[in-house]
Structures are given as structure tokens and as C-alpha cells.
């Protein structure tokens, strides 16, 4: 079976997804450039503008394609459109757009009465001030259609609004073309722990795969510094969380594929932060597999080809990933890892930063400021966190100079 993959992403964050998929499918990559690290996993590839759905359709004419998949947030809409154009399984393109466009998400959820943050879309500072008076402080500003918490900032009081608005409005991300830049959402700040739910959708029905608890840092920004999945966590089968996630997807019309939904556990119950019409990022599916045995990438590929997912848990552990950041903006020389000093529970310790790479902390940088990642498995969340602390001591960033 030939599976079209629209964009592969970076090796450190996405190779673990491509590896199992390539063992079961002939993967043909559609990307702006020729393959590099992806080559061993591919049956073929085409260099094409992945924002141009018609060009992608022409590029695969004659291939025996059975499904289309992406884990690139900036290409979920084009992937849904390509699947529809080729007559292949997939969620309706308008549903993918309703997830990608955070304003559209808010409007759909509000119409359906799904618990979420109050939100007002604005395009100017005077509008932001008026919206802030309506929403109340503290509040959150976020760009309308970016990912990885880019440009998202908490504002505690009116005197911080102007600077935060300029940050959110000026934030950009490569490849984002579905929604015109400039609009900003002024939103109610949701207090409480943040979680994410990865789930499979087949014929309009949801099968939850795993729930991860997020660790955030660099306040007032929302940098995700780590994630943890615990098989014994009551959230893995929480009826209130499941109900909100199901209602949210019904509201936006999502029917087929894999999604990654982010929520806050507020005093009033779970509320939706956003819906991502693709597999989770930040190595969350990796720790889901380590904790529960669920292979999200393979399940997502099966869904893309019209088959039911098999995500029955086969393990019962806790697993976590942590990302390491420099103490200040700097130019990286190299990352050194003392493998002998790593605890036995560490599954992987890998450098992210390349020699000569600029590492900038929020708000000047976001995920690009990470220099290494560590994943670990243990019997409990506390044991997992303790092992990550030990492992972090074995990873050292050498700096060329501060920026």
C-alpha cells in the first residue's frame, strides 16, 4: 500500500513516527525539498509546493495511493483537501480548517456550548484594549493560526497589554498560509493544569489513546518544557474530559483521522484550549508508546487508509520527556552527553542544537531554543521526574558565546 506523507518534519522530532509507518506501508514523501534523513524509509518522493493541492495531486497521478497523512500542523488543511480531491479517506477540509484557525474553533465551540475560554478576535491595539475590558485580567493573547505556543503570552494587567499585543501580532511561522496573518485572540486565562489528549477518529467515533500532562515554563509565555504520560492516571479514562473532547470535535465536524486536543483542568471542569488535526508533537506520542504501548503513528496511518485503529494498551508504566534550555540566549558550540552517567531508566538522551545554532529563550525564541531532550520510563510519575533530573546532569551544552 502506498501512503502519501505530506512533509516529514525534523529528524529529532519525527523520525520515530516515520520508522514504524515505513515498516508497514510504501511511503511516498511530498515535500518542498528532496529527502535527507527520510531516505531509508521512503519508496519514493516528489519535490513539490505542499501548499499547492493541485500540484500535489498532479505529482502523484498514476501512483496506487491508499491514503494521505501529515503530522505538520501547517499542512493539515492541504492534506485534507488532497485526500478529498483524490477520493481517499480523511476528515472534511472545512473541519481541518476549523481546527487550524483558532478563531473558527472558538466560534464553532461557542455555538455548540462546549466549555472553553472566552475569546475575542482583534486586529488593532484599540480593539485589544476594548476586548481586554470585556474579558478581564489576567488574560492571554495568541495569534490566530500559529503553533508551538509561538506568540502566546499571559497579560496580568493593562500596562502590559501593548507590548504583548505587538508580540502576538508580529509572530510568524514558516509555511502558515491558510489564515491571513495579523489577527490576535484576546482570551480568558484558564487557570489549572494543562493536559493534551491524543485520540483516533474512525467513522465519526472517538477512541482515546493517551492523555499527557504538560510542564510549562518561561512565564508569562507558555513554553512547553516537558510532558508525562502515566498509565495509572485517572485522566486516561476520565468521563468529563472525554465528553468535552467528543463535543469539541462534533462542533468542528471532525470525523476521520488523529487529533491532539489541549485542555485546561479548571475549577469549573475541563475546558478546550485548542484542537490540532494531527498527531501530537513534542515527542508526546513517543512517551504514549513507552507508557501504554500505543503506536500513534501506525494507527494514524491506518486511519488515513480507511482502516480502524488498533490502540489497545499493552503496557502500564509512566513515561516522560523533558527538553533542556540554555540559561541565556547563546550560540551553541556542541552538546555533550555522558552516557555512563545516565540512569538505566533513560530511554533516550539526544542533542537537538547543531554546532553554531542560535538558541534564544522566549519571547525571542521558542522550541528552537532547546538544546537536548531526554525520555525516561519508570513505575510512577515521581520516579520518572527524579530520573529525568539525574539524567539532565549528564547533558552539557558548550557555548561559543552569549547573544
CATH superfamily of 118-188: ATP-grasp fold, A domain (3.30.1490.20)
Preceding amide of 138 cis, omega within 30: yes
Query: In the chain, which residues fall in CATH 3.40.50.20?
Result: 2-88
Instruction: DSSP for 252-314, please give it.
Output: HT--SEEEEEEEEEETTEEEEEEEESS---TTHHHHHHHHH---HHHHHHHHHTTPPP-----
pTM, whole model, 2 decimals?
0.95
Amino acid 366: pLDDT: 84
- The CATH fold assigned to 320-403 is D-amino Acid Aminotransferase; Chain A, domain 1 (3.30.470)
Q: Give the burial string for 316-328 (b: 16+ CB within 10 Å, else e).
A: ebbbbbbbbbbee
Q: Which CATH class is domain 2-88?
A: alpha beta
Of 219, 165, 262, nearest to 362 (Cα)?
A: 219
Query: Is the predicted pLDDT of residue 47 greater than 90, yes or no?
Result: yes
Amino acid 175: pLDDT: 60
Query: In the chain, which residues fall in CATH 3.30.470.20?
Result: 190-316, 320-403
> Higher confidence at residue 378 or residue 169?
378
Amino acid 58: pLDDT: 97
Return the percentage of the chain with pLDDT > 70, whole number: 97
Binned at pLDDT 50, 70 and 90, residue 62 comes out as very high
Query: Is the predicted pLDDT of residue 171 greater than 80, yes or no?
Result: no
Binned at pLDDT 50, 70 and 90, residue 354 comes out as very high
Residue 355, number of CB atoms within 10 A of its CB? 12
**What is the average per-residue pLDDT within 244-257?**
98
Binned at pLDDT 50, 70 and 90, residue 170 comes out as confident
**What average pLDDT is seen over the chain?**
95
**What is the average per-residue pLDDT within 351-376?**
95
**What is the average per-residue pLDDT within 327-352?**
97
Return the percentage of the chain with pLDDT > 90, whole number: 90
Strand partners, 194: 264
**What is the average per-residue pLDDT within 144-161?**
87
Amino acid 315: pLDDT: 85
* Rounded Cα gap, residues 83 and 111, in angstroms: 28
Domain 190-316 has CATH 3.30.470.20: yes
C-alpha grid cell, residue 367: 522550541
Amino acid 121: pLDDT: 94
Binned at pLDDT 50, 70 and 90, residue 150 comes out as confident
Amino acid 146: pLDDT: 72
* Rounded Cα gap, residues 215 and 212, in angstroms: 10
* Rounded Cα gap, residues 348 and 1, in angstroms: 31
Of 257, 262, 326, 323, nearest to 96 (Cα)?
A: 257
Amino acid 219: pLDDT: 94
- Identify the residue whose cell numbers are 556542541: 334
Amino acid at each position: 500500500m502506498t501512503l502519501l506523507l505530506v512533509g516529514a518534519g525534523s529528524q529529532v522530532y519525527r523520525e520515530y513516527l516515520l520508522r514504524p509507518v515505513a515498516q508497514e506501508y510504501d511511503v511516498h514523501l511530498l515535500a518542498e525539498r528532496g529527502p535527507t534523513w527520510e531516505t531509508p524509509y521512503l519508496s519514493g518522493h516528489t519535490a513539490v509546493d505542499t501548499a499547492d493541492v493541485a500540484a500535489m495531486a498532479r505529482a502523484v497521478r498514476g501512483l496506487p495511493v491508499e491514503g494521505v497523512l501529515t503530522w505538520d500542523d501547517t499542512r493539515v488543511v492541504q492534506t485534507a483537501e488532497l485526500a478529498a480531491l483524490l477520493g481517499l479517506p480523511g476528515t472534511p477540509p472545512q473541519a481541518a480548517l476549523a481546527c487550524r484557525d483558532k478563531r473558527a474553533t472558538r466560534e464553532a465551540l461557542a455555538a455548540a456550548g462546549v466549555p472553553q475560554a472566552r475569546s475575542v478576535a482583534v486586529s488593532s491595539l484599540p480593539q485589544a484594549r476594548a476586548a481586554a475590558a470585556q474579558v478581564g485580567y489576567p488574560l492571554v493573547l495568541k495569534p490566530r493560526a500559529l503553533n508551538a505556543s509561538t506568540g502566546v503570552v499571559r497579560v496580568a494587567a493593562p500596562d502590559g497589554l501593548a507590548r504583548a499585543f505587538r508580540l502576538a501580532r508580529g509572530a510568524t511561522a514558516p509555511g502558515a498560509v491558510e489564515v491571513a496573518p495579523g489577527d490576535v485572540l484576546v482570551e480568558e486565562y484558564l487557570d489549572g493544569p494543562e493536559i493534551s489528549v491524543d485520540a483516533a477518529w474512525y467513522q465519526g467515533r472517538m477512541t482515546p489513546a493517551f492523555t499527557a500532562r504538560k510542564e510549562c515554563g518561561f512565564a508569562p509565555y507558555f513554553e512547553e518544557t516537558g510532558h508525562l504520560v502515566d498509565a495509572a492516571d485517572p485522566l486516561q479514562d476520565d468521563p468529563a474530559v472525554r465528553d468535552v473532547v467528543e463535543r469539541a470535535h462534533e462542533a468542528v465536524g471532525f470525523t476521520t483521522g488523529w487529533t491532539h486536543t489541549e485542555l485546561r483542568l479548571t475549577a469549573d471542569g475541563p475546558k478546550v484550549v485548542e484542537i490540532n488535526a494531527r498527531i501530537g508533537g513534542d515527542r508526546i506520542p513517543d512517551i504514549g508508546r513507552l507508557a501504554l504501548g500505543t503506536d500513534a503513528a501506525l494507527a494514524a496511518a491506518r486511519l488515513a487508509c480507511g482502516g480502524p485503529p488498533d490502540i489497545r494498551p499493552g503496557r502500564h508504566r509512566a513515561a516522560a520527556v523533558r527538553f533542556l534550555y540554555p540559561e541565556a540566549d547563546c550560540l551553541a558550540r556542541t552538546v555533550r552527553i555522558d552516557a555512563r552517567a545516565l540512569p538505566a531508566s533513560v530511554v533516550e538522551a539526544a542533542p537537538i542544537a547543531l554546532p553554531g545554532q542560535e538558541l534564544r529563550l522566549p519571547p525571542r525564541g521558542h522550541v528552537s531554543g532547546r538544546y537536548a531532550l531526554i525520555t525516561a520510563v519508570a513505575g510512577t510519575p515521581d520516579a520518572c521526574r527524579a530520573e529525568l533530573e539525574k539524567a539532565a546532569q549528564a547533558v552539557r551544552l558548550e557555548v561559543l558565546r552569549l547573544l
